[in-house]
Amino acid sequence: MKRLSAHLGGPRLWVKREDCTGVGLGGNKLRKLDYVLGEAIDAGADTLVSGGVVQSNSQRQVAAAAAKLGFDCHLAVYHGRLAPPSPEYEHTGNALLNRLFGATLHDVPWNGDRNGAIRDLADRLRSEGRKPYVVPYGVSNPLGAVGYASTIAEIAATGLSPAAIVHCTGSAGTQAGLVVGAQIALPQTRIVGIDIDAEPERVRADVLTYAEGAAALLDHTLDPSGVEVVAGHAGPAYGVPHDATVAAMRLGAGLEALVLDPVYSGKGLAGLIALVQSGRWTQDQDVVFIHTGGAPALFAYRHLFQE
C-alpha cells in the first residue's frame, strides 16, 4: 500500500486481500469453511445451520458455500445485539445476499449466547428428519483456525517476512489460525489482533482456546505469548463505528481503493493506523494488513458517507 505508507510515514504497509477469496463476494470465513465443510460432507449432512447478526458476513459466506456445495441452509438471525443503524439495515447488503443464496432465515432474539439459537435450530431440524451440520458463530473453532493458518503459508511464499500482521478480531478463529500459522511458518512475525467487539478479554480468551485446539491438530505446541489483542479501536460498541473508523475507511478507499466496512475491517485499519502513528514500527519494516472482507455490510451504513 505505497500511497497509504507514504501518507502515514511509517513502515512499508502491505495488504492481503482476504476480501477476494472468491465465493459469494468473499471474506475471511471462506478459508475456515474450506476445512470445516469437509467435515459436513464426510458426515453426510444435508443442511448447514449457522447464525449471526442481521448483517453478519459469516452467515452470508455460509449461505454462499451452501449454495455452491448443494446443502440447504438455515440461519438463526440475531436481533438486538445492536440497534439497527439505518432503515435499510434489515434488507440490504448481507441480509439481501442471504436470501439471494436461498437460505432460510429464522429471526431470534440476541441473548449473548452466540451458539445457543444455532444449536436449538439444528435440534429442531434433526427432529424433523434433516441431517444438519452446525457451523459455529463466526465459523470459529479449532478446525476453522487450521484453515485460516493457510493464510500464513501464502504470505510466507511471497518471501516477505513482515514484522507484524495486523487484522481485526472478533469471534477469534481468524487470529487463532494466524497465531498458530505464524509460529510454524513465520516465527519472526508478530500477529496483532485489533478487537472490534469491545470485549478484548473475551476475545483474547477465545483466541487462546481455538489456537490451542488448532495447534494440537497440527502437532504444534502453542506459545501463548504470541496472542496479542489490542483494545481501544472498537468504538462505543460492536457494530457502531466511531470517527476513527470512518476516517480509516476514507483513507483506505481514497489512497488504496480498498472497500472497508464500518463493523470490522474499517476498525481494523483504524487500529493499524493508530499503531503506526504511535511509532511501533520503523520505516524499514514491513507490516501486512489483512483485509478480512465485509464490504456488503457497508450498504447498510450509507448514512455515514452522506455529505
Ligand X SMILES: Cc1ncc(COP(=O)(O)O)c(C=O)c1O
If we measure between CA atoms, which residue out of 143, 253, 140 comes closest to residue 193? 140
Tell me how far, at minimum, the Cβ of 3 lies from ligand X, in Å. 23
Tell me how far, at minimum, the Cβ of 307 lies from ligand X, in Å. 26
Pick the closer one to ligand X by CB: 5 or 151: 151
Pick the closer one to ligand X by CB: 12 or 261: 261
Tell me how far, at minimum, the Cβ of 14 lies from ligand X, in Å. 17
Please tell me whether residue 78 binds ligand X under the rule CB under 6 A: no
Please tell me whether residue 11 binds ligand X under the rule CB under 6 A: no
> With the C-alpha atoms ordered 47, 48, 52, 56, is the resulting torsion angle positive or negative?
negative
For 226, phi and psi rounded to 5 degrees? -80, 0
| Residue of 11, 138, 241, 296 that binds ligand X (CB under 6 A) | 138
Active-site residue 265, yes or no? no
CA max distance for the chain: 60
Pick the closer one to ligand X by CB: 46 or 212: 212
Q: Which letter does DSSP use for residue 133 in this model?
A: E
Give the span between the Cα atoms of 97 and 229, in whole angstroms. Answer: 31
For 218, phi and psi rounded to 5 degrees? -100, 15
**Catalytic annotation, pick one of 5, 56, 140, 265:** 56
Pick the closer one to ligand X by CB: 85 or 125: 85
Please tell me whether residue 170 binds ligand X under the rule CB under 6 A: yes
Based on the number of CB atoms within 10 Å of its own CB, is 274 exposed (0-12), middle (13-18) or buried (19 or more)? middle
For residues 230 and 275, the answer to whether their CB atoms sit within 8 Å is yes
**Stretch near ligand X under the rule CB under 6 A, chosen from 35-43, 166-174, 180-188, 227-235:** 166-174
The count of other CB atoms within 10 Å of the CB of residue 67 is 17
Please tell me whether residue 21 binds ligand X under the rule CB under 6 A: no
Pick the closer one to ligand X by CB: 174 or 189: 174
Tell me how far, at minimum, the Cβ of 206 lies from ligand X, in Å. 8
Pick the closer one to ligand X by CB: 29 or 74: 29
Based on the number of CB atoms within 10 Å of its own CB, is 31 exposed (0-12), middle (13-18) or buried (19 or more)? buried
Please tell me whether residue 172 binds ligand X under the rule CB under 6 A: yes
Tell me how far, at minimum, the Cβ of 144 lies from ligand X, in Å. 8
Please tell me whether residue 146 binds ligand X under the rule CB under 6 A: no
Helix, strand, coil fractions of the chain, as percent rounded to 5: 50, 15, 35
| Residue of 5, 21, 140, 183 that binds ligand X (CB under 6 A) | 140
- Cα distances from 154 to residues 56, 157, 260, in angstroms, run 26, 5, 22
> With the C-alpha atoms ordered 170, 174, 177, 182, is the resulting torsion angle positive or negative?
negative
**Stretch near ligand X under the rule CB under 6 A, chosen from 72-80, 180-188, 238-246, 288-296:** 288-296
Please tell me whether residue 241 binds ligand X under the rule CB under 6 A: no
Tell me how far, at minimum, the Cβ of 82 lies from ligand X, in Å. 14
Which residues in this chain contact ligand X in the complex, by CB under 6 A? 27-28, 57-58, 138, 140, 168-175, 264-265, 292-294
Show which residues are catalytic: 56
